[in-house]
């Protein structure tokens, strides 16, 4: 395979353990696509990590800077966490840590075993629900960055709720398979059709696509209503993945009133008031 498919400093042994590379170092098209997505996401996360790490450089005894605490919510097999650790965290000072949170115990066990085998001492994998993760003493009271890569349906909202509770400085989200808002639009369609706006989601295909779009709009307003500066972009080209939206939020203590009003107005206009509790979660 071409050398430039793998970033400098990346452990080929890790990529073999993650089954991105075969034992003889080969990579198929599906693995190449997966690796490209994770690397592209890393390019967005790396500046955030460097910013946190530089925060205490002047007072730090370590030339590598301030310890960083990152939580990967809905970690799955922890592809992202392992690659972040291999490319960035293993060179950081003691105290830098990646926490992978996952509800499937078998995946947590496998990730823990792999981290032990690779000597990645600054990684922990926790079998916790969202509610448990917010209050668990296994996690610090405040974290620097929260990520959620392809967290399906409401798992992205769970990651946001966790990030707000932990006062995360940055939040990086790649949402996936959003169905809750579409289901609510569908349920309330008969009432909503009194408004011409309902034509936007009258047809089932439009309900699904519009519901997905609106979900992310609501998430952005929710984050802005908590003082975050939000940007939305593509993760990779559409030829690689249809689940392609990347939301990056950085806490800037911005004015909250206007986005909160817009969020409330949008929920009312679309007949989504019953979801208010989800999008108005407290920090």
pLDDT reported for residue 59 = 31
Of residues 64 and 243, the one with the higher pLDDT is: 243
Residue 120 domain flag? no
Asked if residue 64 has pLDDT above 70, the reply is no
Of residues 207 and 176, the one with the higher pLDDT is: 207
Paired strand residues for 12:
none
Token pair for 269: 């206009």
What's the number of domains the chain is made of? 1
Residue 191 domain flag? yes
Residue 217 domain flag? yes
Taking only the tens place, the pLDDT of each residue in 234-267 is 886 544 445 679 999 999 999 999 999 999 999 9
Asked if residue 278 has pLDDT above 50, the reply is yes
Taking only the tens place, the pLDDT of each residue in 65-123 is 789 999 999 999 999 999 999 999 988 877 899 999 999 999 999 999 999 999 999 99
Asked if residue 214 has pLDDT above 60, the reply is yes
Phi, psi of 109, rounded to the nearest 5 degrees: -65, -45
Cβ-contact 67, 97 below 8 angstroms? yes
SS3 104: coil
Domain that holds residue 198: 178-283
Residue 255 domain flag? yes
Residue 150 domain flag? no
What average pLDDT does the segment 51-66 reach? 58
Residue 154 domain flag? no
Residue 93's H or E segment, with its range, is none
Residue 238 domain flag? yes
Nearest alpha carbon to residue 164 among 54, 37, 281: 281
Pairing of strands 123-126, 145-152: unpaired
Residue 268 domain flag? yes
pTM of the complete model: 0.90
pLDDT reported for residue 58 = 31
């Amino acid at each position: 395979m071409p050398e430039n498919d793998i970033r400098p400093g990346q452990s080929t042994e890790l990529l073999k353990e993650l089954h991105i590379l075969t034992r003889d170092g080969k990579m198929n098209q599906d693995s190449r696509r997966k690796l490209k997505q994770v690397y592209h996401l890393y390019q967005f996360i790396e500046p955030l990590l460097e910013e946190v790490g530089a925060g205490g450089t002047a007072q730090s005894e370590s030339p590598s800077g301030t310890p960083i605490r990152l939580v990967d919510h809905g970690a799955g097999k922890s592809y992202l966490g392992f690659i972040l650790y291999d490319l960035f965290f293993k060179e950081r000072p003691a105290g830098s840590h990646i926490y992978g949170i996952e509800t499937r115990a078998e995946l947590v066990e496998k990730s823990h075993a792999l981290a032990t085998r690779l000597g990645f001492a600054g990684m922990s994998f926790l079998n916790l629900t969202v509610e448990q993760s917010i209050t668990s003493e296994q996690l610090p009271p405040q974290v620097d960055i929260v990520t959620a890569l392809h967290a399906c349906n409401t798992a992205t909202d769970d990651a946001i709720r966790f990030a707000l509770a932990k006062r995360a400085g940055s939040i990086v989200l790649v949402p996936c398979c959003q169905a809750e808002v579409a289901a609510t639009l569908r349920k309330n369609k008969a009432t909503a059709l009194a408004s011409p706006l309902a034509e936007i989601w009258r047809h089932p295909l439009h309900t699904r696509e519009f519901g997905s779009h609106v979900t992310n709009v609501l998430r952005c307003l929710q984050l802005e209503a908590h003082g975050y500066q939000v940007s939305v972009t593509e993760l990779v080209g559409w030829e690689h993945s249809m689940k392609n939206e990347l939301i990056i939020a950085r806490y800037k203590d911005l004015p909250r009133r206007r986005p909160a009003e817009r969020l409330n107005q949008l929920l009312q206009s679309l007949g989504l008031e019953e979801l208010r509790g989800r999008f108005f979660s407290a920090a």
